[in-house]
A = this chain, B = another copy of it.
Amino acid sequence: MTIEMDKDITNAEWEVMRVVWAQTEVPSQVIIDVLTDKRGWKEPTIKTLIGRLVKKGALKTRKDGRKFLYSTDIKEDTLVNETLDQFFHNICSKDIGKTIGVLIDEAMLSHDDVALLKEKLIQKEAVAYDTVPCNCMKGQCQCHHHR
């Protein structure tokens, strides 16, 4: 059972989603308050974004008197991971390791985070490759040059 959504979440829409994720159900006024403050957007702008998210199935509504309460079935970490996975398709699979390396370099991590990641790496060792196979189309990465 996957939550199917019509379309991708745009950058502006992502701001709205974050407000909804931070709560369980929010009235539009809360979203508007947070984002007029954070982004300086006008109220109608935020209303548009909310409307588009509802239309594309990313937000659910529940009537509460005269207004709506907004919520979502999409889990934040699920969407984050899907988005990242999609982006990683732009990279040669051989380079994923190094790319994650840069992320680690730049991240602020807690001791617990470090421990978690170390643990994952230990597990990963069991299934690690001698050489990660390149998944690129011929002509789209340099692996194909040196055999």
- Chain A positions within 8 Å of B, measured between CB atoms, are 11, 14-15, 18-19, 21-22, 30, 33-34, 37-38, 77, 80-81, 83-85, 87-88, 90-91, 93, 95-114, 116-118, 120-121, 124-125, 128-133, 136-142, 144-145
Contact = CB atoms under 8 A, between A and B. Distances in A.
A130 B111 contact: yes
A6 to B, nearest CB: 17
Contacts of A124: 104-105, 107, 109, 114
20 contacts: A14-B90, A22-B144, A30-B139, A77-B99, A80-B91, A84-B103, A87-B87, A96-B108, A97-B107, A97-B109, A97-B112, A97-B113, A100-B103, A104-B117, A108-B133, A110-B129, A110-B132, A114-B121, A114-B124, A117-B121
B97 A77 contact: no
Contacts of A95: 77, 80
